[in-house]
Amino acid sequence: MTGGSGQQAKLNRRTTFVVSAIIGRFVGSPWPLGRLYICDDAITVRTVFKERTCLKSEITEISLERFELHNQLLFEDAAGEMADVAVLFAMRVTGVVAELRRRGYPVVDRRPRFLPLPQGVVPWHDPDDEIEDEPPGQ
């Protein structure tokens, strides 16, 4: 076995994240009982009672959205198998998104953006101030 194939096998292993997971209307697992498994060829979401797996080739989009105070991932796939699956995060989501993107999954960030504050002060310009009064004494 060469060192390159061992490194490749290490990269193909699944990555596990502890999450809050919801599958369907009534089957959910709060943090830390839910699991999100990310592999090169599939994603699996597991609750205490249910599990859903979707192949990477079937996934059309993974949406990162804001749900109340938490971030959540919603999945869209060709067959609709993951339509009722939501993954909520109690912690920061950057590591999960980075792992999904590293493995080539189509992640779209749909969280609302806050506009940056303007740089410096913009003076108010009143159009009526353009009429110049003649200086006194002329």
What class, spelled out in words, does domain 12-110 have in CATH? mainly beta
DSSP string, 106-135: -EEE-SPPPPPPPSS-PPP--GGGGSPPPP
In the block, residue with structure tokens 């999450």:
19
DSSP, collapsed to helix, strand or coil, labels residue 30 as strand
Nearest Cα neighbor of 82 from 50, 129, 130 is: 50
> Across the 138 residues of the chain, what is the mean pLDDT of every consecutive 10-residue run?
50 83 82 91 92 94 88 92 89 88 93 66 60 57
DSSP secondary structure code for residue 68 in this structure: T
pLDDT of residue 1: 43
pLDDT of residue 124: 62
Q: What CA–CA distance (Å, rounded) separates 85 from 11?
A: 26
Domain ranges of the chain: 12-110
Q: What CA–CA distance (Å, rounded) separates 76 from 34?
A: 19
Q: What CA–CA distance (Å, rounded) separates 23 from 72?
A: 13
Judging by DSSP bridges, how do beta strands 85-89 and 70-77 pair with one another?
A: antiparallel
DSSP, collapsed to helix, strand or coil, labels residue 80 as coil
Task: Give 18-45 pLDDT, tens digit per residue.
Answer: 999 999 886 688 888 899 999 999 999 9
